[in-house]
Amino acid sequence: MNAFKRDKKEEEEGGGNPFQNLEKTTVLQEARTFNDTPVNPRKCAHILTKILYLLNQGEQLGTTEATEAFFAMTKLFQSRDVVLRRLVYLGIKELSSLAEDVIIVTSSLTKDMTGKEDLYRAAAIRALCTITDGGMLAAIERYMKQAIVDRSPAVSSAALVSSLHLTSVSSDIARRWAYEAQEALNSTNVMVQYHALGVLYQARKTDKLAVIKLVAKLMRTSPKSPYAACMLIRMACKLLEDMEEGEDSMLGFIECCLRHKSEMVVYEAAHALVNFGKSGLKEIGSAISVLQLFCGSPKPALRFAAVRTLNKVAMTHPAAVTACNLDLENLITDSNRSIATLAITTLLKTGAESSVDR
């Protein structure tokens, strides 16, 4: 009866979900097709997609099942179909925590990461690093350093992000690869610059002087990437919090970011200025006027961000937020209920009796 109902619903939708009612055992049986030569890329890609779908739905695989599927999957390295190869990388990442002896694919992945095809290299690096343990690290170190300074942004980013993940395998990995990361920091690609900054911070965060030097240098050139700029603002804030006396140049830099062309950076700077204790009234004032502008934005996320931050400042500097009362009153009827609620609670902290009537 139930099945009948479902069929009917599927018909209404115009053909059912091809991934509905998949049986784990059946799919794993189908995975035996991976052993056939020559590999049928279309068919194998479809089966592999089913396995990945099941894992994504939260299906539990036992160690034996996972290992069997993993080993069957390694046979697919014979095929040169790009989509299939990329799905194999995904499969390796998904199964690496479930299957045994996953290091069997190390040489295949190393070959792909040093090969000619850029589309393989970046993804192969990321897959390789998920199966890498302390013992293997030395073997791939040379390739990783090369990949970080590679001219392809995808490859460089993949290597930088992977080296952050590898911190859990070896805590000093970022420091060992810092020289290469420093070079990647000069990249014109916005994401590479961001990832390089993340690795450099990881490498130096225990050495405050080194962080100060890094931040000071970047502040002068002002990173092109908005993500890197946000990260830099956070790093500067962290330094300012620990410093005995406020460093004017850093505070000045954050204030300067209020005029950045990316809203993301402007908001990050305003948020930073109002959130830590050392900014003066002048800085808080300019930050609040930016947030006031955001309150009238057509984008709900921007209004939300602004009112949430104002709500927080109202605790420490209620007088400074009073200037925004009119804008906040407009937000009480906002269609997004979170924004309306935040506006009301902020007004309760700043509003005077006179505004209650309106």
Partner 1 sequence: MNRASSSKSSQHNLIQYSPVLNDLYESEPTLYTVKGMAILDNDGNRILAKYYDKNIFPTAKEQKAFEKNLFNKTHRANAEIIMLDGLTCVYRSNVDLFFYVMGSSHENELILMSVLNCLYDSVSQILRKNVEKRAVLDSLDIVMLAMDEICDGGIILDADATSVVQRVALRTDDIPLGEQTVAQVLQSAKEQLKWSLLK
121 binds partner 1 (CB under 8 A): no
Closest to partner 1 by CB, 48 vs 251, is: 48
64, 115, 138 from 68: Cα distances, Å: 6, 28, 28
Tokens of 327: 């804008």
Distance of CA 203 to the CA centre of its chain: 19
Gap between the Cα atoms of 296 and 152, Å rounded: 41
Residue 91's φ and ψ, nearest 5 degrees, are -60, -40
Closest to partner 1 by CB, 14 vs 248, is: 14
From the list 150-158, 251-259, 322-330, 344-352, the region that binds partner 1 by CB under 8 A is: 150-158
68 binds partner 1 (CB under 8 A): no
Gap between the Cα atoms of 87 and 90, Å rounded: 5
Closest to partner 1 by CB, 72 vs 306, is: 306
Least Å distance between CB 172 and partner 1? 15
- Contact present, 82 and 112 (Cβ < 8 Å): no
| Residues in 299-358 that interact with partner 1 by CB under 8 A | 299-302, 304-305, 308, 335-338
Gap between the Cα atoms of 184 and 145, Å rounded: 11
- Contact present, 333 and 303 (Cβ < 8 Å): no
179 binds partner 1 (CB under 8 A): no
Interface residue with partner 1, options 268, 295, 321, 347 (CB under 8 A): 268
Least Å distance between CB 67 and partner 1? 9
Residue 124-143 contact track with partner 1, rule CB under 8 A, x = bound: --x---xxxxxxx-------
Closest to partner 1 by CB, 219 vs 322, is: 219
Question: 158: how many CB neighbours lie within 10 A of its CB?
Answer: 26
298 binds partner 1 (CB under 8 A): no
SS3 223: coil
132-142 b/e (C-beta count within 10 Å ≥ 16 → b): beeebbeebee
From the list 162-170, 175-183, 253-261, 319-327, the region that binds partner 1 by CB under 8 A is: 162-170
| Residues in 185-244 that interact with partner 1 by CB under 8 A | 191, 194-195, 198, 201, 227, 230-231, 234-235, 237-238, 241
| Residues in 79-98 that interact with partner 1 by CB under 8 A | 80-83, 86-87, 90, 93, 96-97
DSSP state of 257: G
Number of residues that bind partner 1 (CB under 8 A): 84
Least Å distance between CB 356 and partner 1? 27
| Residues in 31-60 that interact with partner 1 by CB under 8 A | 37-39, 41-42, 45-46, 48-49, 52-53, 56-58
Closest to partner 1 by CB, 234 vs 349, is: 234
Tokens of 213: 């030097």
102 binds partner 1 (CB under 8 A): yes
Closest to partner 1 by CB, 155 vs 322, is: 155
From the list 16-24, 139-147, 252-260, 321-329, the region that binds partner 1 by CB under 8 A is: 16-24
Of residues 177, 153, 151, 146, the one with CA closest to residue 163: 177
Q: Residue 354: exposed, middle, or buried by beta-carbon count in 10 A (0-12, 13-18, 19+)?
A: exposed
| Residues in 242-261 that interact with partner 1 by CB under 8 A | none
Least Å distance between CB 98 and partner 1? 8
74 binds partner 1 (CB under 8 A): no
Long-range contacts at 20-28 (CB < 8 A, ≥ 24 apart): 22/50, 22/53, 22/54, 24/54, 24/59, 24/61, 24/65, 27/51, 27/54, 28/65, 28/68, 28/69
